[in-house]
């Protein structure tokens, strides 16, 4: 299988063998995240390499291999190079020194002399000769990892591919954790399945499994075996035709042969009867034909058979989708769409520059719809360039003019969606508040400010070949990829489409949980089929509304009911009306607080590409000691939280709108002082002043701050329900929704219920 190369650049017009040849010396197979040494030998071709010419070693944008460095020979990722004729070589690494998707480049400049035909340059990635541990292999599995080499023999800074090379298999490592996936909502007696997979420390599903495990349900489940045998040939494990024997919430615990708990499933809510089901998926990621990793076919297979998704979308950047690839994608959408089992949604990522509207995810109900690109930046065939829509409003107009059955999400990625530049509520029904890029509640707040009525989705925008189970690895992605839960009566494209139009869904940062938010009305109320701001629509008298509904009521208030069940204890629930948090609900009382405190840092630099904030720092106690600690949301493989004595913790950490932090159990509940030092906040707080509510320290940027608060020593609350009366504003909208935060760092957002008079 050949690697797709969209390299639409100015390039030398010579065959690769004229420009030279490369040999790659390393094992055929490397373990993801391991340390290795790769020797790259370039032999000059007919033209040699002139004085101040160069070669460059390229890696794909999605690869998160160790960042090459040339100064510290005893540190990881040390790179050396030498020329066979002894000429001077000057090296530099630039994360955007190549071309999309081969952005990452080591450039090696030939200085003082030159290379003649047959002379060579040797590059050692991970040179261990002076104490380096080697070069860290990328965290993501990839059957055809490639180190690409190009030459500029003329010193014109124009390159061409050289001959030779090698494709390396990047394979998963040993199991580090297990994931157990149940459906979220079923009726009593309805058959369902339990899916299990093991993941390595990088988040790759791995077949290196062996052993006997016990399955322990929290309530009786018919058809569930007591023991399962894990083998490489039988992985992942899917157990079909299970059924619950009584209503309630059920979790299944995986216990190994040493009686150690290895994993707990997400909760399954069993009702005596229910017309609705909860379906999970990832609407938004990419494969290697644009800027991701692994093929589009592998993408759909992973989402269905490894992530255990119910639905998936594929969202390649439009300016890199060629017409042949668009046709291939539509064939895959059609092939993999299987009502009742797995649903695909055709579409692409519309990716204009931010000033022209920014990123939007575009979906069609049917396959084979025309693609209207934001540009042809990386598409060489310009025969259809007249169909381009450079501004987001041009796209919305074109979709209307063609009568397309299309929907859109506003997305924050490399380019962020600017709702002020353009929005069409008849098409753009939701905003994406979380992905691997981070957390972006501000885009929902923008929608409220502008008077838009949108739902909430969370997806991954995964670039690492893992849609639906997207570990961020060790790159610029700062968060675990999100999931969207659709609340529908059946698993069909039509049912999902209808729910998207009605905003009947919620989003999470990757954790599957039960989230039900409903409003009931004591006075007359009507629910609109579509947003009445956008034109004539029908309405239905109601006494109850669910998340996403738009309701006009004569009452001065609505009664809100919130129900949550998760696999991790619930830390808090923020009840919001628009941007305003009206209450922070915790399932425990002040009297339950103990010796455990939580220190959180969060936020971003700004909205754009350079949003990542570094929080490398430490905390230190005086007059007290640290009994134990746990990291929260430390996703990056090369950044860790560690003890530096009985009173001190140190860390390397980044946030991109999301949060990270530490849970610390103190020896004494109230003694001493806590000093926190980060690049953005340096402060000291008395331990006795750390309480039920947050103590916050603002840090500039975009929602950037440090928060400190106290938790119970043990929090048993995996589920909770509460009710509140919500006043409805006399004018304008009252958008009511919740944000859930779990102790393990995951979050969820319900789509707002829009109430008005």
Instruction: Give the CATH number of the domain where residue 539 resides.
Output: 2.60.40.10
**Helix, strand, or coil (residue 233):** helix
Same domain, 302 and 385: yes
Same domain, 331 and 252: no
Number of C-beta neighbours around residue 240 at 10 A: 10
Residue 325 backbone dihedrals phi, psi, to 5 degrees: -70, -35
**Helix, strand, or coil (residue 430):** strand
**Pair 709, 632: CB distance under 8 Å:** no
Handedness of CA 205, 207, 213, 217 (dihedral sign): positive
pLDDT for 235 equals 87
Report the CATH number at residue 89: 2.60.40.680
Query: Which parts of the chain register pLDDT below 70?
Result: 1-10
- 72 in any annotated domain: yes
Among 268, 327, 336, residue whose Cα is nearest residue 297: 336
- Please identify which residue in the block is written with the tokens 């020194």: 97
Among 571, 465, 460, residue whose Cα is nearest residue 513: 571
- 6 in any annotated domain: no
Among 753, 565, 751, residue whose Cα is nearest residue 184: 565
d(CA 348, CA 335): 17
pLDDT for 475 equals 74
**Which element (helix H / strand E) includes 18?**
helix 16-19
Number of C-beta neighbours around residue 60 at 10 A: 24
Cis bond upstream, residue 478 (ω within 30):
no
d(CA 748, CA 571): 12
Domain boundary among 475, 510, 545: 510
- Please identify which residue in the block is written with the tokens 């149940």: 182
Number of C-beta neighbours around residue 673 at 10 A: 15
Strands 163-164, 20-25: pairing is parallel
Same domain, 596 and 646: yes
Angstrom distances, CA of residue 206 to CA of 114, 215, 228, 233: 47, 20, 17, 11
Number of C-beta neighbours around residue 388 at 10 A: 20
Q: How many domains does the chain have?
A: 5
d(CA 135, CA 77): 4
- 121 in any annotated domain: yes
Same domain, 411 and 287: yes
d(CA 437, CA 656): 7
Domain boundary among 274, 300, 321: 274
- 654 in any annotated domain: yes
- Please identify which residue in the block is written with the tokens 């569930």: 224
Domain boundary among 171, 201, 221: 171
Q: For residue 231, give the DSSP letter.
A: -
**Pair 483, 507: CB distance under 8 Å:** yes
SS3 content of the chain, % helix, strand, coil (to 5): 10, 45, 45
Q: For residue 205, give the DSSP letter.
A: B
**Pair 681, 706: CB distance under 8 Å:** yes
**Pair 116, 48: CB distance under 8 Å:** yes
∠ CA 704-708-709, nearest 5°, is 135
**Helix, strand, or coil (residue 66):** coil
- Structural domain of residue 570, as residue ranges? 513-587+721-757
Same domain, 451 and 595: no
Q: Alpha helix (H) ranges present in 484-592?
A: 493-502
**Pair 123, 148: CB distance under 8 Å:** no
pLDDT for 11 equals 84
Number of C-beta neighbours around residue 15 at 10 A: 12
Strands 557-565, 719-727: pairing is antiparallel
Among 405, 283, 297, residue whose Cα is nearest residue 349: 283
- 411 in any annotated domain: yes
Same domain, 708 and 751: no
∠ CA 727-730-732, nearest 5°, is 100
pTM: 0.94
Among 700, 694, 702, 624, residue whose Cα is nearest residue 661: 694
- 5 in any annotated domain: no
The set of residues, in sequence order, having a beta carbon less than 8 Å from that of 258 and lying 6+ positions away, is none
pLDDT for 5 equals 45
Report the CATH number at residue 484: 3.20.20.140
d(CA 335, CA 344): 9
**Pair 726, 560: CB distance under 8 Å:** yes
Strands 252-256, 261-264: pairing is antiparallel
Same domain, 154 and 195: no
Same domain, 365 and 433: yes
Same domain, 558 and 506: no
pLDDT for 119 equals 97
- Please identify which residue in the block is written with the tokens 């899917």: 238
Strands 505-508, 483-488: pairing is antiparallel
- 9 in any annotated domain: no
SS (H, E, C) 337-398: CECCCEEEECEEEECCCHHHCCCEEEEECCCCCCCCCCCCCCCCCCCCHHHCCCCHHHHHHH
**Pair 411, 432: CB distance under 8 Å:** yes
Same domain, 25 and 66: yes
Instruction: Give every strand in the sheet of 268-271, ordered side by side.
Output: 185-187, 268-271, 248-250
- 206 in any annotated domain: yes
Crossing angle of helices 323-336 and 296-305, in 10° steps, is 20
Q: Alpha helix (H) ranges present in 228-322?
A: 296-305
Beta bridge partners of 163: 21
The set of residues, in sequence order, having a beta carbon less than 8 Å from that of 668 and lying 6+ positions away, is 595, 624, 625, 687
d(CA 409, CA 313): 12
**Helix, strand, or coil (residue 330):** helix
Number of C-beta neighbours around residue 603 at 10 A: 24
| Token duo for residue 687 | 């331990």
CA gyration radius, the chain: 27
Same domain, 232 and 366: no
Same domain, 368 and 412: yes
pLDDT for 10 equals 62
The greatest distance separating any two alpha carbons of the chain, rounded to the nearest whole angstrom, comes to 88
Burial track 521-550 (b if 16+ CB lie within 10 A, e otherwise): beeebbbbebbbeeeeeeeeebeebbbbbb
Q: Where are the beta strands (DSSP E) in 521-612?
A: 525-528, 539-541, 544-546, 550-553, 557-565, 570-577, 580-585, 593-604
């Amino acid at each position: 299988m050949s690697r797709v190369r969209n390299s639409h650049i100015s390039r030398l017009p010579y065959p690769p063998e004229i420009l030279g040849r490369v040999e790659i010396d390393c094992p055929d197979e490397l373990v993801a995240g391991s340390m290795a040494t790769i020797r790259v030998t370039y032999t000059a071709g007919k033209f040699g390499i002139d004085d101040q010419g160069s070669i460059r070693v390229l890696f794909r944008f999605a690869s998160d291999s160790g960042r090459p460095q040339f100064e510290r020979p005893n540190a990881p990722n040390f790179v050396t190079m030498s020329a066979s004729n002894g000429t001077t070589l000057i090296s530099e690494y630039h994360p955007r020194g190549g071309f999309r998707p081969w952005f990452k480049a080591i450039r090696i400049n030939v200085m003082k002399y030159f290379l003649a035909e047959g002379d060579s340059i040797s590059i050692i990635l991970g040179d261990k000769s002076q104490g380096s541990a080697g070069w860290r292999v990328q965290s993501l599995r990839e059957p055809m990892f490639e180190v690409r080499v190009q030459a500029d023999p003329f010193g014109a800074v124009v390159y061409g591919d050289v001959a030779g090379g090698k494709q390396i298999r990047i394979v998963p490592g040993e199991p580090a954790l297990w994931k157990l996936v149940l459906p979220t909502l079923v009726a009593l007696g309805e058959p369902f399945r339990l899916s299990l997979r093991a993941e390595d420390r990088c988040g790759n599903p791995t077949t290196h499994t062996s052993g006997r495990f016990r399955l322990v349900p929290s309530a009786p489940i018919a058809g569930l075996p007591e023991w399962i045998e894990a083998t490489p040939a039988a992985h992942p494990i899917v157990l079909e035709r299970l059924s619950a024997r009584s209503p309630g919430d059920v979790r299944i615990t995986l216990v190994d042969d040493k009686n150690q708990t290895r994993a707990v499933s997400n909760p399954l809510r069993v009702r005596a009867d229910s017309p609705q089901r909860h379906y999970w998926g990832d609407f938004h990621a990419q494969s290697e034909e644009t800027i991701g990793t692994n093929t589009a076919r592998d993408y759909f297979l992973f989402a269905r058979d490894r992530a255990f998704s119910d639905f998936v979308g594929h969202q390649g950047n439009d300016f890199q989708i060629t017409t042949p690839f668009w046709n291939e994608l539509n064939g895959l959408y059609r092939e993999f769409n299987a009502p009742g089992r797995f649903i695909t949604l055709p579409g692409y990522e519309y990716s204009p520059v931010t000033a022209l509207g920014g990123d939007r995810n575009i979906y069609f109900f049917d396959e084979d719809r025309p693609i209207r690109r934001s540009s042809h930046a990386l598409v060489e065939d310009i025969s259809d360039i007249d169909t381009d829509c450079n501004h987001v409003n041009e796209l919305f107009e074109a979709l209307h003019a063609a009568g397309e059955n299309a929907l859109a999400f506003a997305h924050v990625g490399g380019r962020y969606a600017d709702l002020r530049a353009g929005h069409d509520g008849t098409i753009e029904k939701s905003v994406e508040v979380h992905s691997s890029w981070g957390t972006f509640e501000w885009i929902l707040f923008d929608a409220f400010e502008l008077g838009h009525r949108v739902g909430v989705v969370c997806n991954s925008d995964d670039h690492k070949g893992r849609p639906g189970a997207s570990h961020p690895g060790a790159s610029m992605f700062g968060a675990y990829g999100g999931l969207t839960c659709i609340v529908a009566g059946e698993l069909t494209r039509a049912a999902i489409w209808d729910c998207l139009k009605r905003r009947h869904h919620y989003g999470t940062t990757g954790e599957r949980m039960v989230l039900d938010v409903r409003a009931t009305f004591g006075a007359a109320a009507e629910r609109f089929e579509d947003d009445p701001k956008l034109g004539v629509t029908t309405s239905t008298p109601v006494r109850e509304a669910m998340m996403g509904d738009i309701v006009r009521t004569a009452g001065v208030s609505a009664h809100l009911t919130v129900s949550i069940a998760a696999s991790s204890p619930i830390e808090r629930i923020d009840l919001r009306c628009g941007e305003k948090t009206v209450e922070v609900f915790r399932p425990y009382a002040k009297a339950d607080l103990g010796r455990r405190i939580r220190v959180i840092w969060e936020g971003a630099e700004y909205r754009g590409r350079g949003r990542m904030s570094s929080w490398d720092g430490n905390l230190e106690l005086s007059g007290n000691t640290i009994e134990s600690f746990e990291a929260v949301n430390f996703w990056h493989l090369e950044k860790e939280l560690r003890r530096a004595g009985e009173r001190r913790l140190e860390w390397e950490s980044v946030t991109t709108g999301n949060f990270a932090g530490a849970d610390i159990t103190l020896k004494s509940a109230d003694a001493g002082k806590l000093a926190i030092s980060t690049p953005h906040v340096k402060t000291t707080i008395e331990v006795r002043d750390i309480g039920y509510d947050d103590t916050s320290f603002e840090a500039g940027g975009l929602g950037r701050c440090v928060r400190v608060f106290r938790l119970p020593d043990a929090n048993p609350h995996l589920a909770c329900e509460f009710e509140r009366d919500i006043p409805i504003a006399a004018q304008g909208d009252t958008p009511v929704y919740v944000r859930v935060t779990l102790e393990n760092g995951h979050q969820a957002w319900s789509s707002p219920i829009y109430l008005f008079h």
